[in-house]
Amino acid sequence: MTATAAPILISPETLVGYMADPDLRILDASVELPTPRFDQDYRVASGRDGWLQAHIPGALHADLLEELAQPQASFSFALPCADHFASALARLGVGANSHIVIYDRTDGFWAARLWWMLRSVGIAAQVLDGGFNAWRAAGLPQRQGNESPVPMAELRLQQSPGFWIDRQGVQAVLAGERPGVLVCALSSALFSGTAPSRYARRGHIPGSLNLPARNLLDPQGKYLPSTQLKDQLGDELLKTPAPLVLYCGGGISAAAVALAMTLVGRDNVLLYDGSLQEWAADSNLPMTTGATPA
């Protein structure tokens, strides 16, 4: 299955029409990550309990915190190696011919994260626009408790280049040794350092532009129409030939910006997996505060 086989976004009403498809795999990618109350207030938990309380019928919980992450990494949600990723997906019944729809129960950033992970290994997936909130708003059925196990699939994956960048790559961009435009997807308050950060230091990587991911969604949590998306993204980011290097706190909000960029046809986008959880933890790496909007 190619990464361009289906439209990126799917509505609840369209998803209902696929519910009888035996190849459909609906994944709830929710993670619990509360807003920090004070600096370094990092509280994270699996979204499994919320999934047990209510989910789309047939949906399985995709655990981005542990099962779908690299356990040896120094930061949360680290991209797993291809073999680890393939095994975790296979246990969810995801195979080469699966029709994958991803959602989460909050702002859609977790769904975007899993979508970008899948895209980077050549697997097409769709994101439920507006997530579980849109499903409930449409008055569609919900289910509680566990789902029946699905047969384990066979899946082999290979990571494609051009989707991710590591700390050394970001350092090279910052030093002018590698082309790239740094873009922080956090809120303006977190970017400027005026709000508590759950990470080791406040602020952003020097030279970054600020493009809050939530600015790309409407009040219902759905992605803005293409024209409005382009207005929010701006000509500078859409037309620059340099790669866009997206980051946030943990590579989650940045994935929503990557999805939005893809919706409007902007490629050459890289996501910094470690983001500020890795960067801010190293006191030798520079950070700054103050506003520098995109």
List Cβ neighbours of 222 (8 Å cut-off, separation of 6 or more).
129, 130, 134
pLDDT of 153 reads 85
pLDDT of 31 reads 97
Residue 4 has pLDDT above 80, yes or no: no
Catalytic residue, chosen from 248, 256, 257, 270, is: 248
Mean pLDDT in residue range 40-50? 94
pLDDT band, residue 281 (cuts 50/70/90): very high
**Residue 220 per-residue DSSP state:** T
List Cβ neighbours of 109 (8 Å cut-off, separation of 6 or more).
213, 252, 253, 255, 256
Residue 115 phi/psi, 5-degree rounding, is -60, -45
CB atoms within 10 A of CB 8: 19
**Residue 242 per-residue DSSP state:** S
Could you tell me which of 145, 128, 133, 141 has the C-alpha nearest to residue 56? 141
* Class of CATH domain 164-279: alpha beta
Could you tell me which of 106, 125, 103 has the C-alpha nearest to residue 115? 125
Please calculate the CA angle 118-124-126 and round it to the nearest 5 degrees.
Answer: 95
Residue 293 has pLDDT above 70, yes or no: no
248 flagged as catalytic: yes
Average pLDDT across the chain, whole number: 94
Between CA 211 and CA 215 the distance in angstroms is: 8
pLDDT in tens, 123-156: 999 999 999 999 999 999 999 999 988 888 889 9
Tell me whether residue 203 is exposed, middle or buried, using C-beta atoms within 10 angstroms of its C-beta: 0 to 12, 13 to 18, 19 or more.
Answer: buried
Q: How do the domains of the chain map onto residue ranges?
A: 9-137, 164-279
Residue 226 phi/psi, 5-degree rounding, is -55, -45
The verdict on pTM exceeding 0.75 is yes
pLDDT of 162 reads 96
pLDDT of 90 reads 95
Query: Could you check whether 9-137 and 164-279 share the same CATH topology?
Result: yes
pLDDT band, residue 5 (cuts 50/70/90): low
Q: Where are the beta strands (DSSP E) in 65-218?
A: 99-103, 126-128, 164-165, 181-184, 209-210
Please calculate the CA angle 153-161-95 and round it to the nearest 5 degrees.
Answer: 10
* Class of CATH domain 9-137: alpha beta
Residue 294 has pLDDT above 90, yes or no: no
**Residue 30: C-alpha distances to residues 59, 64, 198, 233, 259 (Å):** 12, 8, 19, 26, 17
pLDDT band, residue 292 (cuts 50/70/90): low
Please calculate the CA angle 44-50-51 and round it to the nearest 5 degrees.
Answer: 120
Structural contact between residues 120 and 112, judged by C-beta atoms closer than 8 angstroms:
no
pLDDT over 70 percentage in the chain: 97
pLDDT in tens, 208-262: 999 999 999 999 999 999 999 999 999 999 999 999 999 999 999 999 999 999 9
Could you tell me which of 225, 224, 232 has the C-alpha nearest to residue 183? 232
